[in-house]
A and B are shown apart, each in its own frame.
Chain A
Amino acid sequence: MYDAPRIWNLIAELTYRCPLRCPYCSNPENFAAIRDALDADGWGRVFREAAALGAVHVGLTGGEPSTRRDLAAIVRHAASANLYPHLVTAGVPLGAEGLAPLCDAGLRSVQLSIQDATPTASDAIAGTACFDRKLEVAREARRLGLALTLNVVLHRHNLANVGALIELARTLDADRLELANAQYDGFALCNRDALLPSREQLEAAAQVVTAERERAKRPELQWVLPDYFSGRPKPCMGGWGRSLLVVAPDGLVLPCHAARDLPGLEFWNTREHALRECWEDAPGLNAYRGENWMREPCRSCPERTRDFGGCRCQAYRLTGDAANTDPACALAPQRDAITAARARASNAAAWAYRGS
């Protein structure tokens, strides 16, 4: 029926455990109930199967991957499967001393999260004191010759600090800085009134980014106007089940981090099925592949080959039906969901940490 495309990129969610408690965490809300079901050899099998399906790159993420004691063994499996091992970490409990063993195991690059530009502000969002140790990890990554990306999730309370964040990334000699505007799913959706910025904040930050890009080549700055404000939906995961595959800590094979919460979709588990079957045949993976599922206005829209109708999870969360057009699109019938949310956001709104 449908010819499954090549996997390019595997996202390996090694665990949902994390010492941080960021209020925009993208893990499922019931993360604590999802256990780590794959040991290092189990991940090794997943990596080899993914490589056989075309994958060239694996993001080792979570939760916090360094909460796993067998992380070095997992990295070694990734490297020997001929995947490019990329670690997505909060820097704790990893610590600077934790990097060299991973480097020896074949790690090529590190994406380190920071929450803001100063220790106080960053630790306040993380819900734990960790900023200084993160900087040590960044310096050690450079010393070891690893590629270094810094990632900051942006929201109402740190957008004003984009200039300082760029300066920090420059001081740390990062290759890239991802200025990642929060995506309002999961915990971020619960805290949306407190986190969603104003248009003025975004425009001011965008100007800083433009000026800094002209000023220096490094670090490479990644900045995209968030979908709540651009009027265009994001091409979520490059299209559902199109090139990117998530394997969750319990072995469930998903098209994105959040899809397990969509009702009525059946995904398969890599402990029970070959990865190829999970990718090609699981009903959930095929539910929104291609264009047959689309309704108007997506079905006849010339943008559908570029934005794939936006994010299914966002459509479900905001409209109750994942097959609706993502309300982030200015053409979406349920567009009000976005405009109302923008109007509700305020500095007065309170937010809650993940898992509290």
Chain B
Amino acid sequence: MLVDVPHLEEPCSPADFEARLRAVGTERYHDKHPFNLRMHQGRLSREEVQTWVRNRYYYQTRIPVKDSAILAKSGDSAFRREWVQRLHDHDGRAPGEGGLELWLRLADAVGLARDQVASLDFVLPGVRRACDAYVDLVERADLLTAVAASLTELFAADIMGKRIAAFERHYAWVDAEGLGYFRARTTAAPRDAAFGLDFVVEHARTAQDQQRCLDALARKCEILWSLLDAIEAAHRKPSVAPQVMLREDAERPGHLLAVLPERGVRVSESGREILQLCDGALSSEGVAMALRAHHPDVPHLSTDVHEFLDQMEKLGVVVRDV
């Protein structure tokens, strides 16, 4: 997705500015991402639901970090009193409470081991990059644009409603007890968004400030979108491209050479093990999981597998189908 927000030369009226902020969401919020569309239509596999829950947890863990950064930017007690509420919402007032805990209950409900989810060991590299980019964006931004980036909450209540309905209707195998996070957000998101929106509309008075807010919100939408891109890519099924000739590397026993029309690619022994699982039947995530089962003690294995497959795809050694 390209960020292409119409450029402001004169400041707009508060009503007009709000309309423009909402238009960014109408155009770019991830409720229109193919993965979310499929989720809401009930067309995700169990494996896909699990991958989403496991990965989206990383996003959840970044939210209080991001909100702490925003708190630290404000010199105003009234603002902080309001904003600190978000930390309590996510972290709870005691162990076993709060949004992060609710997400781990969702992980239980979709059949994941919560320790494994909480370890963040299986977070896809693309998801990690997207979430880290959001924290980075907020940390570098001034208070106004940092708050503007959080205004995707304006569109969140609606997507939470759709999600609850979709899970109840299509994913009956998910225990309804697990949907607590979504239910909590249907009330918290509108409250948070209303405060954030008032703040942004009140403080963005020049055309330049308004433009920066629109850009920050668009960038945030782009980040959420790329998070789902990464999850979707992890469910495409890799196979060795038909034009590739795989052969032993005479110089390095155990290693492979992948020969293509215009290049040769050296594949190490561990890469070879990954390629052997790329039979077009397993997804990239499935390959990562299978290798994890073989090598339970290798750190960052899942990340390495996905990064290897991304690289092999770029070099033309591997193709991935849906």
Q: Does A147 contact B (CB under 8 A)?
A: yes
Question: If the complex has contacts A108-B243, A145-B242, are A176 and B262 also in contact, measured as CB distance less than 8 A?
Answer: yes
- State the majority secondary structure of interface residues on B: loop
Q: Does A345 contact B (CB under 8 A)?
A: no
Q: Which of B243, B247, B251 sits near A147, CB closer than 8 Å?
A: B243
Chain A interface residue count, CB cutoff 8 Å, equals: 17
A112-132 CB mask vs B (1 if < 8 Å, else 0) is: 000000000000000000000
Compute the total of residue contacts between A and B using a CB distance below 8 Å: 36
Closest to B250 in A: A54
Q: Does A240 contact B (CB under 8 A)?
A: no
B contact residues around A57 at 8 Å (CB): 259, 264
Closest to B264 in A: A56
Contact A108 B250 (CB under 8 A): no
Chain B nearest CB from A315 CB (Å) reads: 27
Q: Does B118 contact A (CB under 8 A)?
A: no
Question: If the complex has contacts A108-B243, A145-B242, A146-B243, are A86 and B264 also in contact, measured as CB distance less than 8 A?
Answer: no
Q: Does B290 contact A (CB under 8 A)?
A: no
B contact residues around A84 at 8 Å (CB): 245, 259-261
A contact residues around B251 at 8 Å (CB): 6, 54
Closest to A148 in B: B261
Q: Does A175 contact B (CB under 8 A)?
A: yes
A contact residues around B245 at 8 Å (CB): 84, 108
A142-169 CB mask vs B (1 if < 8 Å, else 0) is: 0001110100000000000000000000
Q: Does B257 contact A (CB under 8 A)?
A: yes
- Measured CA separation A146–B245 after assembly (Å): 12
- Measured CA separation A8–B259 after assembly (Å): 10
- Measured CA separation A109–B243 after assembly (Å): 7
A contact residues around B242 at 8 Å (CB): 145
User: Which residue among A8, A56, A146 has the maximum number of chain B CB atoms within 10 Å of its CB?
Assistant: A56
Q: Which of A6, A8, A82, A108 sits near B261, CB closer than 8 Å?
A: A108
A contact residues around B257 at 8 Å (CB): 56
A46-58 CB mask vs B (1 if < 8 Å, else 0) is: 0000000010110
Q: Does A111 contact B (CB under 8 A)?
A: yes
Chain B nearest CB from A124 CB (Å) reads: 29
Chain B nearest CB from A236 CB (Å) reads: 17
Of all A-B residue pairs in the complex, the 8 with the closest CB atoms, nearest first, are A109-B261, A147-B243, A84-B259, A147-B261, A56-B259, A84-B245, A86-B261, A56-B264
Binding site for A on B (CB under 8 A): 242-243, 245, 247, 250-251, 257, 259-262, 264, 316
Name 20 A/B residue pairs within 8 A (Cβ), A-sorted.
Answer: A54-B251, A56-B247, A56-B259, A56-B264, A57-B259, A57-B264, A84-B245, A84-B260, A84-B261, A108-B245, A108-B261, A109-B243, A109-B260, A145-B242, A145-B243, A146-B243, A147-B243, A147-B260, A175-B261, A176-B262
Binding site for B on A (CB under 8 A): 6, 8, 54, 56-57, 82, 84, 86, 108-109, 111, 145-147, 149, 175-176
Known: A109-B260, A175-B316, A176-B261; 18 extra A-B contacts, CB below 8 A, are A8-B264, A54-B250, A54-B251, A56-B247, A56-B259, A56-B264, A57-B259, A57-B264, A84-B260, A108-B261, A109-B243, A111-B261, A145-B243, A147-B260, A147-B261, A149-B261, A175-B243, A176-B262
